[in-house]
Each structure stands twice: as C-alpha cells, then as structure tokens.
Amino acid sequence: QVQLVESGGGLGQAGDSLTLSCAVSGRTFANYAMGWFRQAPGKEREFVAAISWSGISTRYADAVKDRFTISRDNTKNTGHLQMNSLKPEDTAVYYCAADPGLAIMTSVASYDYWGQGTQVTVSS
C-alpha cells in the first residue's frame, strides 16, 4: 500500500502563487509516477500534471501549462505542485496520486493510490 497526504492548499487571489506538497509513505516512492488532479464542485476529477518516477518527464493539462510546475524529491518521498498566476477557475480540491507504471498517465483510472485532497480557492 502507498499512502499519500496533500498539504499546502488554502485561499488566494487571482495572480497569487501556492505550492502544494504530497508526502508519500508505505512503499518506495521512486517506483511510482505521480500525478496531480483536481475536482471542482459539480465537475469530474480532471488531470492537472504528472511526473515520471525519475522526474525527467512531465506532462501538463493545457489549462495549467506555463503556470504550474510539478516536481518530486525521491530522497524525501515528496512531490510538489507549484502554482503561479492562479485564476478563479483553478478553484478545486487538488489530489495527488501514484501510478506504478512506467509511462506518464493522464486518466484517473490509471492511478492506484490517492490522497485525501486539499482545497484551493482563488478569488477574483
């Protein structure tokens, strides 16, 4: 089993920056690709960003490209999502997830382990 715990969410205004963290325990973090997803009220959970187990490859949703940066530190079993130039439409619960596969996946169904989520609210 892999346990993931997100932190760093909160309130912000348009244009602000926030950094989310994901602490991983239970198994070797380096064996898993990591993804961030978000879910706004009344909407389906959607892909935000993902990073390969090595950290070399990343992928972003078009809505966050050039504003968000995903990273990981396998020595500390943590992942991060740096969010810049926040917009009200970024308001959602953000989840980190782990996938034992080698490829970067963007679908919710591809990820086996999930955190409990952290709320990000951006006002205009």
Residue-wise pLDDT for 3-16, tens only, equals 999 999 999 999 99
Amino acid at 53: W
The residue length of the chain stands at 124
pLDDT of amino acid 34? 96
Q: pLDDT digits over 68-103, tens only?
A: 999 999 999 999 999 999 999 999 999 999 998 878
Token pair 């932190």 is found at 7
For residue 96 the two structure tokens come to 């980190």
Residue 23 in contact with residue 61, Cβ under 8 Å?
A: no
Condensed to tens digits (0 to 9), the pLDDT of residues 100-124 reads 887 889 999 999 999 999 999 999 9
Task: Give residue 103's pLDDT.
Answer: 82
Query: CA-CA distance, 54 to 120, in Å (whole number)?
Result: 27
The DSSP code for 67 is T
What pLDDT shows up at residue 27?
81
Model pLDDT for residues 22-71, shown as the tens digit of each residue: 999 988 888 899 999 999 999 999 999 999 999 999 999 999 999 999 99
